[in-house]
Structure 1
Amino acid sequence: MNSPGGSRNALVRWFLQPFDYAWMADFQNSRPTGRLIRWVMAVLTLNYGALAVVSLFSVDTSRSVVAIVWKAVMLVMVVVVAAAWITRPFPGRFGVVAFAVFADLGTASALLINPIADAILTCALFAVIGTFCTFFLSPRWLVAHLLFAVACTVAAAVATHGGADVDIASLIFRTNVVLLAIAGVPLTSHLLVTVLTEDARSSFLDPLTGLLNRRGLDADVDDVWLLGRDQDRCVAVLVVDIDRFKSINDRYGHEEGDAVIVRVAERLGSHLGEYGVLARTGGEEYLAVVSTSRLHIDALIHGVRRALRDSADSVSVTVSIGAAIVYWDSALWDQDVDIVTRATRVADSMMYEAKAAGGDRVVKSVL
């Protein structure tokens, strides 16, 4: 059973967790569904403007100059924002935060100029904004939105009670339903999305090194191949295996063996990470898929051994490296073959050749 302290710590971790706005924007802009989401946001934004127009025809609405001018201004801003959703890429941190703040303040202003009888119903619009915050904003911004929405709803309930002849039980019921929709649902959804996201990400990662595992590599590797082809760059698969790793475990123990695996992973990441994806695919085996220029590819591959070497290491290791290189003008690009699978098999075969020759070397093949 989880202790209250454990639940509290989990809640604190959720609240303080970093949110990668840049990754979110890149993800949305690289997927066909990203454009669909932007169209949905544009339609929802325009609907807010339509509601402002419809409210002008309500019998009890304020028709003061200030109210009419403000609704006209809001209508213009809504059209501009909706157009931005359609014509611009999915925004980064500033854009999504600015949109949430704009929507919150716009909804709050509607409470001030719409009929008091519609105040509680108007607060339900905060639920739509909360859904946006759930998926595209950090927990801290979500909580800020929820506090603002709850405060506005409570204020609307108090104003309704004081300005209209309304049954108190009915008012409490309606207010509670709206509060559940605007606060309970987004908060619960964000917690659930966070848990599912963490579980999903962890299923793609090797728990010891933090590198991708085989499943994670399969999910990310296509992007490297497509980038190489689109930009006329070379793509290479590298299989790296630590030489005589069993003797390290036998001599120094499994704890030191794990430390060696982690150290090699970190240095491989530093050397290869910016050029592609890297995974731990076996006990002491790593696989990298990289994309770079023809002039640089050989230096990158042969530089692996040098990147892993440090005279200060308590346990010195060497590696056997097999590499399969696909140049940008290779005929394989135009053939109906699984290039990734073929290159991986060749690189794996080259690694075993390097190991059979005594290790601590690179054996490569051009496809």
Structure 2
Amino acid sequence: MNSTSRHRGQGGVASSVRAWFAQPFDYRWMADFQNSRPTGKVIRWVMAVLTLSYGALAVVTLFAVDTSRSVVAIGWKAVLIVVVLVVAAAWITRPFPGRLGVVAFALFADLGTASTLLINPIQDAVLTCALFAVIGTFCTFFLSPRWLVAHVVFAVACTVAAAVATHSATDVDIASSIFRTAVVLLTIAGVPLTSHLLVTVLTEDARSSLLDPLTGLLNRRGLDAAVDDVWLLGREQDRCVAVLVVDIDRFKSINDRYGHEEGDAVIVRVAERLGAHLDAYGVLARTGGEEYLAVVSTSRLHVDALIHGVRRTLLDPSDAVSVTVSIGAAIVHWDSALWAQDIDIATRVTRVADSMMYEAKAAGGDRVLKSVL
């Protein structure tokens, strides 16, 4: 490998690390995801148990022979135990928190653990630092890379300081001190950082498998995974669900006349405008070359305006390549008899919408045909 290749490789690694460190973290999505899934409740109970375990350890250390018996030390541990009980109760009784809540919990856990280093027996200081690994696991899954790195830096600093203090105050030889400290450092720093990098890669791969690479919209697989919540909204009073199938008219002629590059630009432009019009009401996917499918939930009074507004939102006189679309829609009101039938309602409604789209296209295109089920 020549020097240029090595430089490029090094630059690629550095840029990848910078991109990982700077990547945004969607705290709201995480909270909504956890609160909408049965596993979210399990995770909150796990966090409550782990929090109580920290409190239990604080109680146990009160009985250690070498622990500090000062009023300040005992009072501080009493405060920590009370706070632990409050935080554990919050994990059980409250929904999964957003950004402020998870950051506050991580800070509380880090600072609480660090404070015990000052009042626990000095020979247990390095071992106590291993608790930072549990906090690091929480940061790995529920905080941004920047907060994870901040936690790791703080945990490493506390561990090194504890190791120096332990070596100075006890008769442990230098080799044993280095070995114990290295083991703890690998646990509190190496495991969370490696795990976060792996989770990031796996998450990106998982998300890319659900997305259309050209438009960034969901693909058919991604739509199937995301659409359940929209159907549930359709059961609410005064709401309904509509499936829209949108197909660009005479798209082959666009490719033949302007080229595939311009054809791709048309697909992306239509996707962006459909998203701006429909995203607030449900999910949108690209399900074919020039075909899109949306599942939306809105009120009975608004659904017609939303469907017919698709054609208007796609029109712009300044477009270099003007297009029209054929739209098929199938609407299910909240009081429809379909909800009570033992059928795959999503598949049936989608087939009706698809049939309506083909009828609109056969009639010349540039129109909306809909069916109320």
Q: Which residue in the other structure is 1:149 paired with?
A: 155
Matched, 1:337 2:343: yes
- Partner SS for 1:63: coil
Aligned mate of 1:25, from 31, 52, 76? 31
Deviations 1:139-188 (A, max 9, x none): 00000000000000000000011000002111111110000000000000
Matched, 1:351 2:357: yes
Deviations 1:188-218 (A, max 9, x none): 0000001111111111110111100000000
Aligned mate of 1:238, from 230, 244, 250? 244
- Partner SS for 2:178: helix
Q: Which residue in the other structure is 1:46 paired with?
A: 52
Aligned mate of 2:202, from 196, 200, 203? 196
Measured after TM superposition, the shift of residue 365 of structure 1 is 1.1
Change (3 A) 1:116 1:295: same
**Residue 234 of structure 2 contacts residue 333 of structure 2 at CA under 8 Å; is this kept in 1?**
no
Q: Which residue in the other structure is 1:221 paired with?
A: 227
- Partner SS for 1:240: strand
1:119 & 1:222 partners in 2: Cα distance?
50
Q: Which residue in the other structure is 1:273 paired with?
A: 279
Matched, 1:37 2:30: no
Q: Which residue in the other structure is 1:78 paired with?
A: 84
Matched, 1:259 2:265: yes
1:86 & 1:154 partners in 2: Cα distance?
35
Measured after TM superposition, the shift of residue 53 of structure 1 is 1.0
Q: How does 1:71-150 map to 2 (within 5 A)?
A: 71-150=77-156
- Mark the runs of 5 or more structure 2 residues left unpaired by the alignment: none
Measured after TM superposition, the shift of residue 231 of structure 1 is 4.1
Q: 4+ runs of 1 displaced by more than 4 Å?
A: none
Deviations 1:47-76 (A, max 9, x none): 111111111111111101111111111111
1:309 & 1:78 partners in 2: Cα distance?
58
Deviations 1:302-351 (A, max 9, x none): 11111100111110100001111111111000011111101111111111
Measured after TM superposition, the shift of residue 273 of structure 1 is 1.0
**Residue 283 of structure 2 contacts residue 294 of structure 2 at CA under 8 Å; is this kept in 1?**
yes
| TM-score, with structure 2 as normaliser | 0.97
Q: Which residue in the other structure is 1:60 paired with?
A: 66
Q: How many percent identity over aligned positions?
A: 85
2:81 & 2:37 partners in 1: Cα distance?
30
Measured after TM superposition, the shift of residue 219 of structure 1 is 0.5
2:120 & 2:240 partners in 1: Cα distance?
62
Matched, 1:327 2:330: no
The one-letter amino acid paired with 2:40 is G
2:48 & 2:19 partners in 1: Cα distance?
33
| TM-score, with structure 1 as normaliser | 0.99
Deviations 1:70-117 (A, max 9, x none): 111111111111111111111100100000000001110110001110
Report the RMSD for the aligned CA atoms in angstroms: 0.9
Aligned mate of 1:292, from 293, 298, 312? 298
The one-letter amino acid paired with 1:217 is L
2:333 & 2:79 partners in 1: Cα distance?
57
Measured after TM superposition, the shift of residue 232 of structure 1 is 4.0
Measured after TM superposition, the shift of residue 230 of structure 1 is 2.9
2:333 & 2:160 partners in 1: Cα distance?
65
**Residue 20 of structure 2 contacts residue 145 of structure 2 at CA under 8 Å; is this kept in 1?**
yes
Matched, 1:314 2:314: no
Aligned mate of 1:161, from 159, 167, 174? 167
Pairs aligned (count):
367
